Structure 1
Amino acid sequence: MVTIEEAHKIIKAQKVKLKTETRELSDCLGFSISEDINARFDMPSFDNSAMDGYALCGISLEYTIVGEVAAGDKKEFELKEGEAVRIFTGAKVPENISAVMMQEKTNVDGSKLSLEQMPKEGLNIRKKGEELTQGQLVFKKGTTITPAGIGLIGSLGIQKVEVFRKPLINLITTGNELIAPGKPKAEGQIYESNSYALAAACEQFGFHCHDKKQIEDDFEAIKSGIKDSLETSDVLILSGGISVGDYDFVKQALEENGVEEQFYKVFQKPGKPLYFGRKEDKFVFALPGNPASSLSCFYVYVMPFLYQLSGSEKNGLQRYSFPISHAFENKGDRPSFLKAKINNGIVEILDGQGSSMILSMAHGNAMAFIDAETSLKKGEKVECLLIS
């Protein structure tokens, strides 16, 4: 058995082969950049107007309008002192322009322009290179691409982006008692939900589960299912069958498929029977079958490793400390990840902390980490992992 800290160190220390691919700009949201991106040119690449209004030559209250410049126009103006041109947002300003006055603060009578206030030098002019200069680092390797990032990359004229490929993920759930939602339920059966929750958790953080299997508690069937899933995945996630019961065949089936154990069992609650292994460049997480334990282990261990395999600078759930809304005592002998809800900067430990209970996790938005045999007074700060 390992501690939480030891488990994280073992996972982080894994040597992984990062794979890259070229993706269209419109299809790279959430991917991590595999090489630095530098500005190919100054941005803006020319002085331009930040407003619809009038480009002014000289500082005065009255001007003569001598023309018009729209965005994208290539015509050039060489204005004299006291002259102005009608100009629109994004249009290139003539070289000898002193300022741009927004149209709401102007009055026009034929070709005569009068201003409601004296302009300031450089007013409403976006200068060349004001945002980026040619060669400047825009994104470093490992940066996760956001919608704004896509917009910025596009504004640099880049159509295709080199990114780290995300891992292929397969999922297996085991259990004789499990049936698919929508089917009639007999006495002693329960509806299988872990595959739905785990696949959704993958999607939540920008990953995709490519294949899901439901296998009964049969050793040969589990062994065969693991073999097939390993062949088509980078990461195999199993749920159930990893404890020490008579029908828990997963650990042995993994061993017979050549998976090398990196650790088995973590000193924590919930999720003690957690397994992590690898076979060459493929990795396996065998999670407990109880719904809350399974999802908690995914958030704490699997999700950070998926980022690691994706070349991302992210390293897991965001962690913050919040004051607790009530006194709380963790009487157990293991550190605990407790279902919690943060509201207005205050954290509440929810009822229903059993490892099989998913209701409180569904209504919560965080997991509070509280060490073993720890008592907290109202208002004391608690470290929380944000799950939504």
Structure 2
Amino acid sequence: MVTIEEALRSIQDQKISLKSESKPLNEALGYALSTNTTAPFDVPEFDNSAMDGYALCGLYQEYRLVGEVAAGDSKEVSLQDGEAVRIFTGAKVPQNTTAVMMQEKTSAKDKTLLLDEMPKTGQNIRKKGGQLTEGQAVFEKRHVLNPPSLALMGSLGLSQLDVFSKPQVNIITTGNELVKPGEPKTEGQIYESNSYAISGALQQFGFQHHQKTQIQDDFEATKAGIKTALDSCDVLIISGGISVGDYDFVKQSLEENGVNELFYKVFQKPGKPLYFGRKGNQFVFALPGNPASSLTCFYVYVLPLLQKLSGYENVGLTTYQFPIKHGYENRFGRPSFLKAAIVEGKVEILDGQGSSMIQSMAKGNALAFVDDGEVLKEGDLVRCKLI
């Protein structure tokens, strides 16, 4: 058995080979860049208006109106002293423009423009290169692309981005008692739910599963199912069958398939019977079958490896500290990740901490870490992972 810190260090220390690919801009959300990016031109490429209004030449309160410039106009316009043109947001300002006055502070009649106040040199003009200059660094390698990143890349005219590939993930659930939702079940059977939790958690953080398979609690079936899954994935996630019961065949089946155990069992609650192994460049997590245990282990251990394999620099859920709303004592005999809710800046440990209880996890938004035997009083800070 290992500690939580030892388990996380084992995952962090794994040597990996990152793969890269080219992704279309509209499919690159959540990917990490595999190369540095520099600006191919100035942004903006030309001086342009920051709002709808009037481009002015000189600093006066009365001007002669001589035309109009719309966004996208390519014609060259040049102003003379005392002249103004109607201009729209994003339009290239004419040569000799001193300032742009917003339309709300003007009045126009016939060919005369009157201002409510004196303009200031350069006001409301977005200057060429004001955001980026040609050759300037935009993003460094390993930057994870978020929606603003995609907008910036698009503004640079980049339709294809070089990114690190994300790992191919397969999911296996085990259990004779499991029935797919929507199908009839008999006495003693339950509806299978863990694969939906794991699949949803993958999607939550920008990953997808390639295959999802359910197998019976049978040694040969388990061994064959693992062999098939390993033929087409970088990471295999197994739910159930990893404890020490008479029908728990996962650990032996992994050994038979050449998977090297890196750790088995973690001194924690929930999720003590957690397995992590490796076969070449493939990784295997065997998660406990209890729903809350399975999902907790995904958040704490599986997610950091998936992100590491995707080229992320910062991996795992970020830990924050919040004051606890009430007193609490950890009497579970192990360091615990507790289902919790952060409300108005305070953390509340929820009822229903059993490994099989998923309802409290569904209503919460965090995992609160409380050490073995730790006694907390109201207002004490608690480390929390937001989920």
TM-score band, normalised by the shorter chain?
A: over 0.9
Matched letter for residue 41 of structure 1: F
SS in structure 1 of the partner of residue 245 of structure 2: coil
TM-superposed CA distance for 1:251, in Å, is 0.5
| Distance in structure 2 (CA, Å) of the matches to 1:58 and 1:378 | 65
Matched letter for residue 23 of structure 2: R
TM-superposed CA distance for 1:333, in Å, is 2.4
| Distance in structure 2 (CA, Å) of the matches to 1:292 and 1:52 | 55
TM-superposed CA distance for 1:332, in Å, is 2.6
1:276-317, CA deviations, whole angstroms, 9 ceiling, x for partnerless residues?
A: 001001000000011110000000000111101111233111
Matched letter for residue 347 of structure 1: V
SS in structure 1 of the partner of residue 253 of structure 2: helix
| Distance in structure 2 (CA, Å) of the matches to 1:231 and 1:78 | 67
SS in structure 2 of the partner of residue 71 of structure 1: coil
Matched letter for residue 10 of structure 2: I
The corresponding residue for 1:265 is: 265
Matched letter for residue 76 of structure 1: E
Range 140-149 or range 37-46, more displaced: 140-149
2:208 corresponds to 1:201? no
TM-superposed CA distance for 1:192, in Å, is 0.9
The corresponding residue for 1:76 is: 76
The corresponding residue for 2:35 is: 35
TM-superposed CA distance for 1:74, in Å, is 2.2
| Distance in structure 1 (CA, Å) of the matches to 2:183 and 2:66 | 77
SS in structure 1 of the partner of residue 298 of structure 2: helix
TM-score, with normalisation over the residues of structure 1? 0.98
Matched letter for residue 369 of structure 2: F
Matched letter for residue 222 of structure 2: I
1:165-219, CA deviations, whole angstroms, 9 ceiling, x for partnerless residues?
A: 1111001111111111122222221111111111111111110011111111100
Matched letter for residue 297 of structure 1: C
Instruction: Please report the RMSD computed on the Cα atoms of aligned residues, expressed in angstroms.
Output: 1.0
Range 173-182 or range 376-385, more displaced: 173-182
TM-superposed CA distance for 1:76, in Å, is 2.1
The corresponding residue for 1:180 is: 180
The corresponding residue for 2:46 is: 46
| Distance in structure 2 (CA, Å) of the matches to 1:155 and 1:80 | 32
| Distance in structure 1 (CA, Å) of the matches to 2:302 and 2:78 | 63
The corresponding residue for 1:282 is: 282
SS in structure 1 of the partner of residue 107 of structure 2: strand
2:7 corresponds to 1:10? no
Matched letter for residue 17 of structure 1: S
TM-superposed CA distance for 1:67, in Å, is 2.1
The corresponding residue for 2:238 is: 238
The corresponding residue for 1:214 is: 214
| Distance in structure 1 (CA, Å) of the matches to 2:74 and 2:247 | 76
TM-score, with normalisation over the residues of structure 2? 0.98
SS in structure 1 of the partner of residue 134 of structure 2: coil
SS in structure 1 of the partner of residue 182 of structure 2: coil
Range 59-68 or range 226-235, more displaced: 59-68
The corresponding residue for 2:325 is: 325
| Distance in structure 2 (CA, Å) of the matches to 1:249 and 1:112 | 87
SS in structure 2 of the partner of residue 270 of structure 1: coil
2:137 corresponds to 1:149? no
Range 101-110 or range 286-295, more displaced: 101-110
The corresponding residue for 1:66 is: 66
| Distance in structure 2 (CA, Å) of the matches to 1:74 and 1:211 | 52
| Distance in structure 1 (CA, Å) of the matches to 2:95 and 2:364 | 58
Matched letter for residue 38 of structure 1: T
Matched letter for residue 177 of structure 1: E
Range 373-382 or range 59-68, more displaced: 59-68
Range 70-79 or range 335-344, more displaced: 70-79
| Distance in structure 2 (CA, Å) of the matches to 1:185 and 1:165 | 40
TM-superposed CA distance for 1:108, in Å, is 1.1
Matched letter for residue 134 of structure 2: Q
| Distance in structure 2 (CA, Å) of the matches to 1:334 and 1:38 | 50
Unaligned runs of 5+ in 1: none
| Distance in structure 2 (CA, Å) of the matches to 1:183 and 1:93 | 66
TM-superposed CA distance for 1:161, in Å, is 0.6
SS in structure 2 of the partner of residue 360 of structure 1: helix
1:352-375, CA deviations, whole angstroms, 9 ceiling, x for partnerless residues?
A: 101111111011111100000010
Matched letter for residue 60 of structure 1: Y
2:372 corresponds to 1:375? no
Runs of at least 4 residues of structure 1 off by over 3 A?
none
1:30-81, CA deviations, whole angstroms, 9 ceiling, x for partnerless residues?
A: 1111111111111001101111111111101011112221222222233222
The corresponding residue for 2:89 is: 89
1:236-291, CA deviations, whole angstroms, 9 ceiling, x for partnerless residues?
A: 00011111111111011000100001111111111111000010010000000111
Unaligned runs of 5+ in 2: none
SS in structure 2 of the partner of residue 301 of structure 1: helix
2:55 corresponds to 1:55? yes
The corresponding residue for 2:124 is: 124
2:227 corresponds to 1:223? no
| Distance in structure 1 (CA, Å) of the matches to 2:15 and 2:21 | 20
**Structure 1 segment 100-139 matched on structure 2, within 5 A:** 100-139=100-139
| Distance in structure 1 (CA, Å) of the matches to 2:217 and 2:29 | 39
| Distance in structure 2 (CA, Å) of the matches to 1:199 and 1:206 | 11
2:167 corresponds to 1:167? yes
